[in-house]
Amino acid sequence: MQYTHLGRSGLKVSRLCLGTMNFGPQTEEADSRAIMDSALDSGINFFDTANVYGGAEHRGWTEEIIGRWFAQDGERRERTVLATKLYGTMTNRPNESRLSALNIRRALDASLKRLQTDYIDIYQFHHVDRDTPWDEIWQAMEVAVQQGKILYAGSSNFAGWHIAQAQEAAARRNYTGLVSEQSIYNLLTRAVELEVIPAAQHYGLGLIPWSPLQSGLLGGVLKKENDGVRRTKGRAAEALAKHRDKIQQYEDLADDLGLEPGDVALAWLLHQPAVTSPIVGPRTQQQLDAALRALDVKLDADALKRLDDIFPGHRTAPEDYAW
């Protein structure tokens, strides 16, 4: 396993992050525990979750599964860099969502209880809260740090100017602020290259991409359809229809390279200098094994150029929109 620092922090995390959103709703608890065991054994020390994971009827379910797994063996928690998130609505009560000081305090304590731990390594804002001032947010986070309940703060789904706003407010308080940003980023979805990545690099945030395979569209979807293994529906089917020619070119390129399409997509992210750890969210052990293969894939300059030709990005960001 390869490790790197999370942004400008001294914290070392694995180059792949285990996403746990499927644990509970899609993956039974026994299988979820087996996947977490396998991830640790393979060297993945970075686990990501959120307080709302588990579905509308059982928010917190995923954290509970992780907590019971930690409780089976105390060493597991010490081997894990644990990230969770708050923002989403947990109940219909008015102060159990977003980033007020009250919700930060309550949501953190609730996550700690579900996770059966006394601290969170990276406590992340799942979304920006446009109605709560940053001084309030940072004061609440500073208290949590002083209490030993969190070590670092991270963001998710922030625009570039949100990162700048957060970091400048933290600087005025002589506080570290954010050390990471979680954004959707993959070959098909590259809008973060315009301003989010430049902002993250300027302020020293590690980028943690989610949906690295764009809901499976970059995982060999055409081949799976042709083999009768997968039938694409809903929004994924609409996106496939829109990008079918590009995805066919991409799968042909993967064949030329002698690689699986999903391996190419993950390896491409690992070649991006701003990226710390793509989040892989396996439903099965086989999906985790497939993700681990990408760590050994080396893409040369020609392969990277061909990928850019198929899925053009923003090569001159952040000035790309101007000239």
Cα-Cα-Cα-Cα dihedral of 141, 147, 152, 154, to 10°?
Answer: -30
Question: How far, in Å, are 229, 230, 233, 243, 244 from residue 236 at the CA level?
Answer: 15, 12, 6, 10, 11
Domains of the chain: 3-215+262-299 (3.20.20.100)
Given the residues 53, 152, 185, 203, select the one marked as catalytic.
Answer: 53
Tokens 């999370």, residue located: 6
- Tell me the per-residue pLDDT of 220-248, one tens digit each, with 9 for 90 and over: 999 988 887 777 778 888 889 999 999 99
Q: What is the pTM of this model?
A: 0.96
d(CA 13, CA 296): 17
3-class DSSP assignment, residue 276: coil
Task: Give catalytic status of residue 53 as yes or no.
Answer: yes
Question: How far, in Å, are 43, 210, 247, 266, 309 from residue 188 at the CA level?
Answer: 28, 12, 9, 12, 12
* Contact between 275 and 221 (Cβ < 8 Å): no
Give the model's pLDDT for residue 237. Answer: 86
d(CA 114, CA 61): 8
Q: What is the mean predicted confidence (pLDDT) over 73-97?
A: 94
- Tell me the per-residue pLDDT of 130-168, one tens digit each, with 9 for 90 and over: 999 999 999 999 999 999 999 999 999 999 999 999 999
Q: Is the confidence at residue 322, as pLDDT, over 80?
A: no
Q: What percent of the chain has pLDDT over 70?
A: 100
* Contact between 14 and 278 (Cβ < 8 Å): no
d(CA 114, CA 187): 35
Tokens 């293994």, residue located: 229
